[in-house]
Every structure is written in structure tokens, then in C-alpha cells.
């Protein structure tokens, strides 16, 4: 039996400290919502732009109260002709949900601030005695949620799912009035912080769902291959409350069907299964899992595999694997928007497959659930990361708790995805004592929550007269040594890597988590001309030559990046114009010359591994 420590720690980390008047706090997210009885609230939502937060604060800068007629979560319909309303929702102003606001109207391109979203809907419960949850895949960054004039609660974090139980008396069969205050302002004490190198897409960026479940329901579960085994699966199932129910677990293809008796809110299990096919990049075998409790049935597609470090190698199912990776931002460059659908995930991951990549680094935050599920189906290994990036306030205990919260949310949502082999706790954080304490605390938290995967972070590396020294003290805590290097782009020329040497102070696998150079697609020149496709091609040729000379512990790389992406930091008026153009694909979907350099290298590495 399990004691529910995971969920108690998750709950304590994800509850927002709220005024006493907020009666309903956030619940831990329900796992695998897409297998539940769901009603989508996606579509057109009306909005009000509110840069002064007039709908939230009065002119004395005090938070408005329920019943205040000027609060934007209350109805905008006047009671009579004398009633004064200084806000209003209209179809004239509407945004698509899911979606970022930046790409939907030119006035929002650089906007950072508050936007109020409003959606009216009708709803009839299928089960009069059941529970209903309001679920958000993600809202960037801070959100306050109101239903029919009553506040359900708040949430912080732009890439994590969250939900609230809707009180039975709050839902109506007709004309429900849902309002969400969304604020994407960057702040020093948040995760991520003020300083990033990607677009700060605001809005309700992922699915919004009503989820109906029985009074007693399966809140969460875990199933995986047992460590040091090839034919035994283990896991646990957790209900929302203590029960004496009998659960059913079934994988029909494996002729596995077990009845499990509960006497609390959770139970663990372990079963030996003969002839179990392991999930791999060449054979992404997924089994249909069915969990049943009373009238509730949940299905999932799950794979079983092992990943571990042995000496200076990474082993997948006991065999060394070379990670032919690529970094990806959650962005569809052709439309300059946040990716949010299964079709978007297929587009991005199929591009990675075109490169002959067997691994993707999802940078620099947890991507939407479609990405990891599609990666499962395509046999692509995944590095998933939280947005602890550059200049986090490492001395703050409150910021550490926010980072832990996002780490827990990432692991909780995707722990059953076979494709994920690496949890990353951050990127390019500066070496200093308080940072190492902060980051090692995150490593320990990740390892405690999930000891079946590798833990890493993009570490610091410094160049000492051509010798790349990796002695970042965080490396003693991670399972592999991952570093970002841009020899020949940020300083010098691509040919400078010919004499590069590597001094790794840790006997662990070495992974190049980023490398790359910018090229404006279609700009043709000689290889010495920066920003040209020929310069980027030269850069990658020299990098590939260096990769072939790397130490024996070199286990792979993920170049930066699959596609060009938007970034306000990139302001060259000729070659960037608000785009980071390091993509192997340009922002119209065309392959640059460097793409073919990397593909040839990956084809060669694949042939080597098959020998």
C-alpha cells in the first residue's frame, strides 16, 4: 500500500496562498483527463483588454469584491437603463481558445498584461450525483477563475495543468458565465523569471474542459516496467478518497486482468508478464490499459521500457543508445503562434523524424500533453524540462517552492509516458553556491518523485584557450553531464573547433544539449558571411567533425533548434526582426542547408548503432 505522500506533497506545493474569502483552493490535477467524460469549452471566447487591471482593482488599488458591479467577472448586462456598466463583453472582441493572444490580433503582438476571457455555456450533468471539475491544460501565466460571479480560485504557472471542483450549486443548465483573468507579465520572483529568450505568449494556451466523474473516482495512477526487470510491471492507483471498492486492471493483449481490493484511497501492485514487448525507438510498442472502478472506466496507451546509466553510457532496455536529438520550442513558426493541438505535435515531431532524430529536447518548459503522447506513438525519446532559466532568484525559498511545484506538475502529468527518459531541472544557470543548492534540491525532488528516469540540466561550460572545461558542481548530482556549446557562433569562427579539447571532470555520459548558428533562410553568400545559410552549413560541418572526435563518454546531442522561433531579444533589422533564426527549418517550413549536414551525420550514427 502507498501512503499518499506524493499527493500530499503535490497538494501542498500547488495550492495558491489565497485570501480567506477564496473558499475553493486548487485541487491536484486529475490525470489522463482525455479518457474521462469531458465537455470541451474550447472555441471563441469574448475578451476585454485591461492593462490597468481596472476590472480587478478599484481606484485605491484594492482588490474588488464579489458583488461589486464594476468587477469584470460579474455580469456586464445592466439591470435597468439607469445602471452604469463600464465594462462589456462582445463578439466583436473574441479570441480562439486554446491559443495565444499575441498571434490573433496585431495589437497583442508584444502585449504583456491582463486580458479577461469570458465564455457562456449550457451544461447538463450526466450523473446527478457525480462531481464536475473545470480543467485547464495551461494558462500563461497567472489566472483567476470565476463561474457565475463566484471565484473558484487562482493558479500560477504558464505550462502546468490545473483544475477546480465546481460546487454542485454553481452550475446551471443554461447560461453559465465563465470568466478567466489572464496575466502574462514577467516577474523577478516567478518561474520563468524576467529574462528569457523566447516569446512570452499570453492567454489560455491549452484545452479547457469540464470533466465529470463519479463521487468516488480514480484520480491518478502509475504503471511502468519494474527496475532491473524485463517482464515485471509495477505501479499504483489512487482514488480521490478512501474506499473499499474493488478495482479492475486489464491489459487484454497480455492476457492480464486483475481484481484489486482497496481498504484506503490507494493501492500498489506488481505483476510478472511473460513475452512482454519493450517500447523502443525502433519498436514503439504501446499496450491498451483499462482501469475500472464501479461505473468508471479509464483507458490509456502505455509502453514499458528501461533507461539507465551504466558507466559512461546511456542504456535503453539494456543496450547503449546514441541520442540523435533536436531541440524544439512549442511554437508553429508558419503562423507565429503557440502550438496547442495533436496536429501541431504531429507536425513538429514529424519534422524531427525527417532529420532522423530519435530524441527531442522539449525546451524550455513542459510542452502540451499531445507532444508527449505523440512521441510515445512515434518512438521518439523525450527530454522534458521546467523553465528554471538563467537568472532565477536562487536565494529565495519561495521561488524554490514554485520551481518544485512546476517540477511536480510535469512529472505528475507525464509519468506514464514511455517516451520521456530525461527530466531536466533547468537551463544555463550561473555557477554560485546558492544556485547549486537550489538546483541540487530540485534534482533530489525529481529523483524522489521518479527514480525510473534520468535527471539532468544544461550545465555551465567554460572555454580555456580551446579546452572546454566541464566542472560545474551541479554535475555531481545529475545522471548525465549536459552542456550547451556554441564554439564559432558566440565568438570566433566555426573552424576554431578543429583544435577543441574536452576536459570533463565527471565520469558520466556527456550530452551536448545545444549547439547552433543563425541563418536567414534564402540569404546566400560565401561561408565567411555571417547570417548566411553557407555560414550555418559551415558551422554544422565543423561541429560534426568535432563530434566524431569526442571522448568515449559522448552519448549524443540536440542542436539548437528544429525551427526558427520568435524572440524579442533578436533585433537585427535585416537578419532577425524578432526571430531567432537558428532553426534547421525556417519559419515557412523550408529546410536550410545545415539540415542536410545533420541528417547525413544522424544517418551514419544510426548505421553504426545497427552494426
What average pLDDT does the segment 382-397 reach? 96
Q: Pick the residue with more confidence: 66 or 421?
A: 421
User: Distance between CA 141 and CA 153 in Å, rounded?
Assistant: 14
What pLDDT sits at residue 466?
86
Instruction: Render pLDDT for 309-354 as a digit per residue (tens, 0 to 9).
Output: 999 999 999 999 999 999 999 999 999 999 999 999 999 999 999 9
Whether residue 313 is contained in a domain is answered as no
What pLDDT sits at residue 17?
36
CATH code: domain of residue 333: 3.20.20.80
Q: Which of 283, 305, 327 marks a domain boundary? A: 305
Instruction: Tell the residue number behind the cell numbers 513538429, with chain if given.
Output: 348
Whether residue 237 is contained in a domain is answered as yes
pLDDT bucket at 245, cuts 50 / 70 / 90? confident
How many Å separate Cα 139 from the centre of its chain? 12
Same domain as 75, residue 38: yes
Instruction: Render pLDDT for 453-510 as a digit per residue (tens, 0 to 9).
Output: 999 999 999 888 889 999 999 999 999 999 999 999 998 999 999 989 999 999 999 9
Same domain as 529, residue 383: yes
pLDDT bucket at 263, cuts 50 / 70 / 90? confident
Hey, which bits of 72-161 come out as E strands? 94-97, 114-121, 131-136, 142-147, 150-156
% residues pLDDT > 70 (the chain): 96
Same domain as 200, residue 234: no
Same domain as 322, residue 424: yes
What pLDDT sits at residue 610?
86
Same domain as 330, residue 197: no
Beta-bridge partner residues of 218: 239
Whether residue 415 is contained in a domain is answered as yes
The helix or strand, by DSSP H or E, that contains position 250, with its residue range, turns out to be strand 246-251
Closest to 380 (Cα-Cα) out of 346, 341, 426: 346
Whether residue 532 is contained in a domain is answered as yes
Number of Cα atoms under 13 Å in the Cβ half of residue 249: 22
Tally the domains of the chain.
3
Q: What's the farthest any 2 CA atoms get from each other in the chain? A: 83
Residue 352 phi/psi, 5-degree rounding, is -60, -40
Whether residue 312 is contained in a domain is answered as no
Q: pTM for the complete prediction?
A: 0.94
> Does residue 496 contact residue 488 with C-beta atoms inside 8 Å?
yes
Same domain as 230, residue 92: no
Beta-bridge partner residues of 60: none
User: Distance between CA 349 and CA 193 in Å, rounded?
Assistant: 28
Alpha-carbon dihedral sign for residues 399, 404, 405, 407: positive
Q: Which of 161, 178, 213 marks a domain boundary? A: 213
Instruction: Render pLDDT for 201-221 as a digit per residue (tens, 0 to 9).
Output: 999 999 999 999 999 999 999
Same domain as 374, residue 268: no
Same domain as 538, residue 419: yes
Same domain as 296, residue 198: no
Instruction: Render pLDDT for 6-53 as a digit per residue (tens, 0 to 9).
Output: 444 444 334 343 443 444 445 678 999 999 999 999 999 999 999 999
How many Å separate Cα 521 from the centre of its chain? 28
CATH code: domain of residue 58: 2.60.120.260
What pLDDT sits at residue 27?
63
Relative to beta strand 359-362, strand 37-40 is unpaired
> Does residue 214 contact residue 294 with C-beta atoms inside 8 Å?
yes
Question: Which residues span the domain enclosing 251?
Answer: 218-305
> Does residue 204 contact residue 340 with C-beta atoms inside 8 Å?
no
User: Distance between CA 78 and CA 569 in Å, rounded?
Assistant: 45
User: 524 in helix, strand or coil?
Assistant: coil
What pLDDT sits at residue 168?
86
User: Distance between CA 268 and CA 368 in Å, rounded?
Assistant: 28
Hey, which bits of 278-338 come out as E strands? 287-293, 296-302, 307-310, 313-316, 319-320, 323-328, 331-332, 337-338
Same domain as 554, residue 417: yes
Instruction: Render pLDDT for 51-110 as a digit per residue (tens, 0 to 9).
Output: 999 999 999 999 999 889 899 999 999 999 999 999 999 999 999 999 999 999 999 999
User: Distance between CA 262 and CA 417 in Å, rounded?
Assistant: 26
Q: Pick the residue with more confidence: 22 or 119?
A: 119
Same domain as 34, residue 167: yes
Beta-bridge partner residues of 208: 136
Hey, which bits of 381-461 come out as E strands? 381-385, 420-427, 454-459
Whole-number mean pLDDT of the chain?
94
User: Distance between CA 384 and CA 422 in Å, rounded?
Assistant: 6
Whether residue 310 is contained in a domain is answered as no
Q: Which of 251, 282, 305 marks a domain boundary? A: 305
Whether residue 183 is contained in a domain is answered as yes
What is the arrangement of strands in the sheet containing 208-213, beginning at the earlier edge strand? 37-40, 208-213, 131-136, 162-165
CATH code: domain of residue 233: 2.60.40.10
Instruction: Tell the residue number behind the cell numbers 480567506, with chain if given.
Output: 20
Whether residue 153 is contained in a domain is answered as yes
Q: Residue 1 pLDDT > 70, yes or no?
A: no
Same domain as 523, residue 480: yes
Closest to 105 (Cα-Cα) out of 183, 178, 49: 49
Amino acid at each position: 500500500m502507498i501512503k499518499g505522500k506524493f499527493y500530499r506533497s503535490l497538494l501542498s506545493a500547488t495550492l495558491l496562498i489565497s485570501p480567506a474569502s477564496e473558499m475553493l483552493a486548487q485541487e491536484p490535477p486529475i490525470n489522463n483527463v482525455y479518457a474521462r467524460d469531458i465537455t470541451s469549452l474550447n472555441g471563441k471566447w469574448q475578451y476585454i483588454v485591461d492593462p490597468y487591471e481596472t476590472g480587478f482593482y478599484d481606484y485605491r488599488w484594492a482588490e474588488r469584491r464579489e458583488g461589486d458591479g464594476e468587477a469584470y467577472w460579474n455580469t456586464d448586462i445592466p439591470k435597468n437603463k439607469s445602471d452604469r456598466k463600464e465594462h462589456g463583453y462582445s463578439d466583436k472582441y473574441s479570441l480562439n481558445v486554446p491559443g495565444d493572444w499575441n498571434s490573433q490580433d496585431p495589437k497583442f503582438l508584444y502585449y504583456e498584461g491582463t486580458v479577461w476571457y469570458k465564455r457562456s455555456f449550457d451544461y447538463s450533468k450526466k450523473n446527478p450525483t457525480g462531481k464536475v471539475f473545470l480543467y485547464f491544460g495551461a494558462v500563461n501565466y497567472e489566472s483567476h477563475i470565476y463561474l457565475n460571479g463566484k471565484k473558484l480560485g487562482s493558479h500560477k504557472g504558464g505550462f502546468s495543468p490545473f483544475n477546480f471542483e465546481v460546487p454542485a450549486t454553481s452550475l446551471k443548465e443554461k447560461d453559465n458565465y465563465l470568466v478567466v483573468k489572464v496575466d502574462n507579465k514577467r516577474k523577478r520572483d516567478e518561474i520563468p523569471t524576467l529574462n528569457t529568450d523566447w516569446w512570452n505568449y499570453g492567454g489560455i494556451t491549452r484545452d479547457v474542459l469540464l470533466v465529470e466523474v463519479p463521487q468516488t473516482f480514480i484520480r491518478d495512477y502509475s504503471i511502468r516496467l519494474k527496475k532491473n526487470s524485463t517482464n515485471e510491471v509495477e505501479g499504483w492507483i489512487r482514488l480521490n478518497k478512501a474506499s473499499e471498492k474493488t478495482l479492475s486492471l486489464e491489459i487484454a493483449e497480455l492476457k492480464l486482468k486483475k481484481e484489486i481490493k482497496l481498504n484506503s484511497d490507494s493501492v500498489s501492485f506488481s505483476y510478472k508478464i511473460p513475452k512482454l514487448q519493450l517500447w523502443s525507438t525502433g519498436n514503439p510498442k504501446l499496450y491498451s490499459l483499462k482501469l475500472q472502478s464501479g461505473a468508471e472506466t479509464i483507458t490509456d496507451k502505455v509502453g514499458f521500457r528501461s533507461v539507465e546509466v551504466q558507466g559512461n553510457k546511456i542504456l535503453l532496455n539494456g543496450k547503449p543508445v546514441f541520442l540523435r536529438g533536436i531541440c524544439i520550442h512549442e511554437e508553429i513558426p508558419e503562423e507565429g503562434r503557440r502550438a496547442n493541438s495533436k496536429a501541431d505535435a504531429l507536425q513538429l515531431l514529424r519534422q524531427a523524424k525527417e532529420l532522423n532524430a530519435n530524441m527531442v529536447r522539449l525546451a524550455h518548459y513542459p510542452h502540451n500533453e499531445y507532444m508527449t503522447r505523440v512521441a510515445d506513438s512515434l518512438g521518439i525519446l523525450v527530454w522534458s524540462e521546467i523553465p528554471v532559466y538563467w537568472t532565477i532568484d536562487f536565494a529565495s525559498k519561495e521561488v524554490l517552492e514554485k520551481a518544485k511545484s512546476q517540477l511536480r506538475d510535469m512529472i505528475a502529468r507525464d509519468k506514464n509516458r514511455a517516451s520521456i527518459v530525461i527530466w531536466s531541472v533547468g537551463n544555463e544557470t550561473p555557477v554560485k553556491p546558492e544556485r547549486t543548492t537550489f538546483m541540487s534540491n530540485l534534482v533530489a525532488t525529481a529523483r524522489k518523485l521518479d527514480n525510473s528516469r534520468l535527471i539532468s540540466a544544461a550545465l555551465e561550460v567554460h572555454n580555456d584557450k580551446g579546452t572546454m572545461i566541464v566542472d560545474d558542481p551541479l554535475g555531481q548530482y545529475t545522471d548525465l553531464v549536459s552542456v550547451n556549446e556554441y564554439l564559432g557562433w558566440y565568438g570566433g569562427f566555426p573552424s576554431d573547433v578543429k583544435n577543441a579539447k574536452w576536459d570533463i571532470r565527471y565520469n558520466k555520459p556527456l550530452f551536448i544539449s545545444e549547439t547552433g548558428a543563425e541563418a536567414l533562410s534564402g540569404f546566400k553568400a560565401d561561408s565567411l558571411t555571417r547570417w548566411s545559410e553557407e555560414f550555418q552549413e559551415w558551422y554544422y560541418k565543423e561541429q560534426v567533425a568535432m563530434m566524431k572526435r569526442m571522448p568515449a563518454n559522448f552519448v549524443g546531442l540536440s542542436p539548437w533548434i528544429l525551427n526558427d522561433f520568435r524572440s524579442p531579444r533578436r533585433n537585427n533589422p535585416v537578419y532577425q526582426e524578432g526571430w531567432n533564426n537558428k532553426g534547421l527549418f525556417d519559419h515557412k517550413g523550408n529546410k536550410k542547408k545545415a539540415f542536410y549536414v545533420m541528417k547525413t551525420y544522424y544517418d551514419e550514427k544510426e548505421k553504426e548503432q545497427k552494426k
